[in-house]
């Protein structure tokens, strides 16, 4: 059984990645909700698994593994289930490259923009910088998706990592996916995947 930690209400794209992955792989799982941070301090039960106090985090009761960081969790669950990560080294390298692109670039830029959107001291120059970065990422993804149904041919953990951000990028970053037609089609393809519908129904 895999325990996934999340906070309520959880519309966090980082948590969605793991919820989708659990639905895709069919691994048995259960949810443990944790309260919001109390000031700077996260709940003790979360800090034991996620020293940075962030969600998502998981415990695999079968192996005793505890993980935080969504990219590491996706890699772990893919390896455990044998799904959504090719065995071939070159193909695996491709998938890991796009997974790292998300965790190092797209996720942080979206998170920063979200922070400034909620902030009283929202600075247009700073937000503009993140919007431009995100538009550049959309262009990169659009080129990668030209002639491909998924980022690396078959659906993989790279698609699962990038989808939850792409699904909200129009709303958050004032970007129109009409300018990135391959990305737009891919978002529709991902939206139609059964695991994502299942994950959405579970309300995670």
The verdict on 54 binding ligand GSH (CB under 6 A) reads yes
Are residues 12 and 167 in contact, defined by beta-carbon separation less than 8 angstroms? no
Which of 70, 62, 73 shows the shortest CA–CA distance to 162?
Answer: 70
* 103, 113, 134, 177: which one binds ligand GSH (CB under 6 A): 103
Helix axes 89-101, 124-145, angle to 10 degrees: 160
Q: With respect to ligand GSH, which residue has the nearer C-beta, 184 or 196?
A: 196
The verdict on 25 binding ligand GSH (CB under 6 A) reads no
The verdict on 86 binding ligand GSH (CB under 6 A) reads no
Site stretch for ligand GSH (CB under 6 A), options 21-29, 49-57, 139-147, 194-202: 49-57
Residues numbered 116 to 155 that lie near ligand GSH (CB under 6 A) are none
Which of 54, 59, 49, 94 shows the shortest CA–CA distance to 80?
Answer: 59
Site stretch for ligand GSH (CB under 6 A), options 53-61, 130-138, 170-178, 195-203: 53-61
Task: State in angstroms the smallest separation of the CB of 47 from ligand GSH.
Answer: 11
The verdict on 113 binding ligand GSH (CB under 6 A) reads no
The verdict on 76 binding ligand GSH (CB under 6 A) reads no
Are residues 102 and 71 in contact, defined by beta-carbon separation less than 8 angstroms? yes
Torsion angle in degrees (nearest 10) through CA of 157, 161, 166, 169: 180
Which of 155, 177, 35, 51 shows the shortest CA–CA distance to 99?
Answer: 155
CA distance 44 to 79: 28
The verdict on 112 binding ligand GSH (CB under 6 A) reads no
Residues making contact with ligand GSH (CB under 6 A): 12, 14, 37, 42, 53-56, 69-71, 103, 107, 111
């Amino acid at each position: 059984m895999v325990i996934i930690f999340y906070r309520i209400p959880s519309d966090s794209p980082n948590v969605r990645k793991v919820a989708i992955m659990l639905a895709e792989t069919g691994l048995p799982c259960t949810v443990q909700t944790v309260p919001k941070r109390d000031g700077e301090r996260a709940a003790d039960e979360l800090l034991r698994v996620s020293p940075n106090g962030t969600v998502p985090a998981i415990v695999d009761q079968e192996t005793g593994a505890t993980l935080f960081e969504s990219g590491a969790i996706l890699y772990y669950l893919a390896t455990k289930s044998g799904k959504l990560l090719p065995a071939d080294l070159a193909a695996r390298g491709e998938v890991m490259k796009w997974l790292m692109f998300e965790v190092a670039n797209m996720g942080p830029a979206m998170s920063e923009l979200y922070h400034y959107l909620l902030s009283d001291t929202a600075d247009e120059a700073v937000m503009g910088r993140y919007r431009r970065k995100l538009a550049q990422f959309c262009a990169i993804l659009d080129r990668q998706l030209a002639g491909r149904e998924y980022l690396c041919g078959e659906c993989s953990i790279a698609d699962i990592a990038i989808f939850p951000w792409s699904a909200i990028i129009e709303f958050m970053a004032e970007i129109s996916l009409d300018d990135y037609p391959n990305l737009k089609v891919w978002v529709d393809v991902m939206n139609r995947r059964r695991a994502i519908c299942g994950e959405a129904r579970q309300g995670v």
